[in-house]
Amino acid sequence: MQQLPKGYYAVQSDFENSPKDTFTYKGVTYIVEAGVNLFATCAEANAAAIETPDEVLAGLPYEEFTAPVLLLSAGVHHIGGKREDMVVVGASRFLLGEQAGVEPNIFHTEDPTVVPTLNPARVGEGESELRGARWFSRMNITGDNEIATLVLDGFTCSKFFRVADLRAKSDYPCTLTFRNIIHTGPCGYPLYDAARLDADTALHRTVRLENIRLENFYDYGRGGMFAQLNAESITFSRVVINHTSQVFGFTDITRSISCYTKNAPVTRIDINGCYFKELGGENGISTSLVGNEDSALEMHVRDSVFVDASRVGEGFLTPHLANENCSLTVEGCLLVDTRGNRAAVSIWGEGDRVTLTDCRLEGFETAVEHAVMPPVDAPDKIENHADDWQTATADTHTVLGTDNADFTALEDYYAAYRPYYGDQHVHSDCGGTSDGKFPLADWPAAMDEKQLDFAAIVDHKQMRGFFLPEWDEERFIIGTEPGTTITDLENVIDRSMHYNMLFPHKYGLAMVMANFPEFEFRGDELTGSYKYPKFTKERFMELTRYIQSIGGIMVHPHPKTMMASDNPLDYYMGEHMYLEVMVGSYRHHSSIRSYDLWCDILALGKHVWASGGSDTHGGVSNGCVSTFYSKKKSGRAFFDVMHSADYAVGALGIQMMIDGHPMGSELVYRDGMRLTLRVGDFHAPAFRENTAYELRVYTDEGLAYASMFNGRETQHLSLAVQKRAFYRAEVVDLTHGGFRIAVGNPIWLDGKEAETEAENEA
């Protein structure tokens, strides 16, 4: 038996129950020493790895190694869960699993449309599995040292494990290679992520994905991405993706993330010998040069198969060819849409350098189309006329013309109010169990810099912050954010969730702790903390009703980040709860998916209000504000606005009334009702020139009104109300990807007020 040679660092799964002096890899047993070249976790081995091997072990398909090598045994290797188990790469590394060099895919030459078979050699106990937990499971590449090479070879990656190169600059080039990897998920985050590079950096990044397999992958309904890469050269070779709910990439849903690498003349993407089927995310395989429209991006696709490789009606390949320096070549490929489709390739932009050679297309009306680009110009005012007129929308409505509309009641109601902007979900550093990184005492000054007026502070597991002298009564809304698992949900992937409890006074949380002993609160207001109890659905709804009974608010934050279910009602925790429809930023994938979830819940007749926030744990953010109208500036006044639901989530004010009743009202329909609406008071940091915004009014039966405007002036609209369950309004940024910049709460007309009051009293 030989010693494990210099430069190799062994990681043993189930370390506690395994030998501490031997390590077996690819059938060969080596002598090792725990703590020197044998470790329990990847994080420990990574920290110890300093030497480079002089020889290549038997069975490894490498000629030499230029950096330390981590050998991972067969079995499960837990990555993350605790910060100390997070893997942070700050130097060149090779991470090799038991199946390094063993391809996962067997391609079919007789019928290339058939999904490549999983290699039987990659099934069973011989796999080295990198299993992520919800927290700290991203392998981060960071630091200022030279990282010339990172290789991951021969793994099954499950749950939340993923890789991200966080560097925007470095003094050295770098090649990232991922080969012979099987992804099983589920995971709602980008699996392969590389940050945008600075224009003046020497970090010339190359990314290679070779022999990758991803099948029946679920992204938590979050809009997670397969690849979000910024690199001078990106190569996909023999990559198989079969049925995923992910957005493929290379850009995001709104196509607002540029794929161009600023420190190189050309960004090149190569896709060779791959197989793609049933890509469930938006835009197929897409690129973007937004903000870099004069730059060059080339995409070359060869000998690859695409079967239903997009959403229905969308192109399989949707590159942004912004100018004559951009190009797409497709050679020797088979593209089949069994559902029928317009075009296999949908070009975004003015470029026309598209070449298809020796390709077979089935199920398309045409090979290539140029997509209609988003509008840039819009009028000062939304569409209206002097006389009443009919909308040409799915739910046709009568617009009261300017000669007949009456906004007196709306103007009188809000005459004493002014707009305020704030964040409904933030975390601070106030000591105790808080996990924010920005001191509570520094928040007011930073809020002024960001033009914010209020913030709901929801630090975890405690009430300490409310009682500190630095608590700002003029700005802060009182709250906390626990977590739980809903134990009796059926047919779900993940039953966990967080929830924000907000209160009109500082003793609201103490009242909850006293009436729900499962929190096991211990200590006083400054030193005490509570646990995260599990609940049945019924018990959690009791908690919701109790919080509401003492004047509080129950919010389901970032709903698509944790819980994972196909049933919208699993996210519903009682009438008049709040659901975050904007998460992190207006255009974030979680915002898009959470908004869709809210719409699904509304369609089921549930009275759920919209909220949103940055969920910042760092500095103050103004990227996900809400617009409140209040008579005065105080934490309690802002709480009261939120409690009323008469506000817009987003950076634009919405004031809407039906017969004198504002958003958040619950009415009984009567003939002759009139809706009046005012949109204005843009939060200055969010406003963008040369942008087409669109005002939309929805009912439970669909779109009732839509018209563009440029955001510079206040808009007014009045509709004749029909017998509908609800009305609500929103504003969409059409120019920069179709994301919502403001979402107003509904006015309900379904006569459920008495019913919901009875439910809450039960």
- For the segment 11-48, what is each residue's pLDDT rounded down to a tens digit? 999 999 999 999 999 999 999 999 999 999 999 999 99
Q: Which domain holds residue 274?
A: 247-373
Angstrom distances, CA of residue 668 to CA of 33, 676, 753:
76, 17, 9
pLDDT at 760: 45
| 351 and 419 share one domain | no
Give me the chain's average pLDDT, please. Answer: 97
Residue 76 has a CB neighbour count (10 Å cut-off) of 15
The tens digit of pLDDT for each residue in 531-569 reads 999 999 999 999 999 999 999 999 999 999 999 999 999
Q: 34 and 142 share a domain?
A: yes
Q: What is the mean pLDDT of residues 176-180?
A: 99
Residue 228 within any structural domain of the chain: no
Is there a single domain that holds both residue 213 and residue 325? no
- Do 360 and 505 sit in the same domain of this protein? no
**pLDDT of amino acid 751:** 83
263 and 204 in one domain? no
pLDDT of residue 757: 52
Q: Is 224 within a domain?
A: no
Question: Where a domain ends, among 169, 199, 218?
Answer: 218
Split at pLDDT 50, 70, 90, the class of 725 is very high
- CB contact at 8 A, 301 and 331: yes
Residue 368 sits in the same domain as residue 435: no
Question: Is pLDDT of 51 > 60?
Answer: yes
Look at residue 759 in the predicted model and tell me its pLDDT: 47
Contact assessment for residue 295 and residue 230, using Cβ atoms and an 8 Å cutoff: no
Residues whose CB falls within 8 Å of the CB of residue 105, separated by 6 or more in sequence, listed in order: 116, 117, 118, 119, 211, 213, 238, 240, 275
Domain-terminating residue out of 320, 347, 373: 373
DSSP states of 285-311: EE---TT-TTSEEEEEEES-EEES-SS
pTM: 0.94
The average pLDDT across 298-326 equals 98
For residue 286, the cross-strand partners are 250, 318
Q: How confident is the model at residue 185 (pLDDT cuts 50, 70, 90)?
A: confident
Establish if 381 belongs to a structural domain. Answer: no
Structure tokens at 265: 């003349």
Residues 610 and 466 placed together within one structural domain of the fold: yes
| Residue 400 falls inside a structural domain | no
Can you list the alpha helix ranges (DSSP code H) found in 42-129?
Answer: 42-48
Residues 700, 723 contacting (CB under 8 angstroms)? no
Judged against a pLDDT cut of 90, whether residue 391 lies above it is answered with yes
pLDDT digit string (tens) for 137-160?
999 999 989 999 999 999 999 999
In a domain, 210, yes or no: yes
Please report the pLDDT score of residue 1 as a whole number: 86
188 within domain boundaries: yes
Structure confidence at residue 138 (pLDDT) = 96
What spatial distance separates the first Cα and last Cα of the chain, rounded to whole Å?
Answer: 73
d(CA 575, CA 606): 6
Residue 412 has pLDDT above 90, yes or no: yes
Query: Are residues 328 and 461 located together in one domain of the fold?
Result: no
Instruction: Check residue 152 and give its pLDDT.
Output: 99
What is the pLDDT, as a whole number, of residue 544?
Answer: 98
Domain boundary among 328, 353, 373: 373
Per-residue pLDDT averaged across 737-744, rounded?
A: 98
> In the beta sheet, which residues pair with residue 11?
39, 72
Segment 708-726 shows an average pLDDT of 98
Q: Using alpha carbons only, what angle is made at residue 331 by residues 326 and 337, rounded to the nearest 5 degrees?
A: 100
**Which whole number is the average pLDDT over 659-663?**
98
Q: Which residues contact 755 (CB under 8 A, 6 or more apart)?
A: none
Does 753 score more than 80 pLDDT? no
- Above pLDDT 70, what percent of the chain? 99
The enclosing domain of 530 has a CATH number of 3.20.20.140
User: What's the pLDDT at 762?
Assistant: 44
> What's the number of domains the chain is made of?
3
**Is the residue at 438 inside a domain?**
yes
- In percent, the amount of the chain with pLDDT more than 90 equals 96
27 located within any domain: yes
Judge whether residue 320 has pLDDT over 70. yes
Are 331 and 256 contained in the same domain? Answer: yes
Q: Strand 626-630 to strand 418-426: parallel, antiparallel, or no bridges (unpaired)?
A: antiparallel
pLDDT of amino acid 755? 55
Residues 116, 160 within the same domain: yes
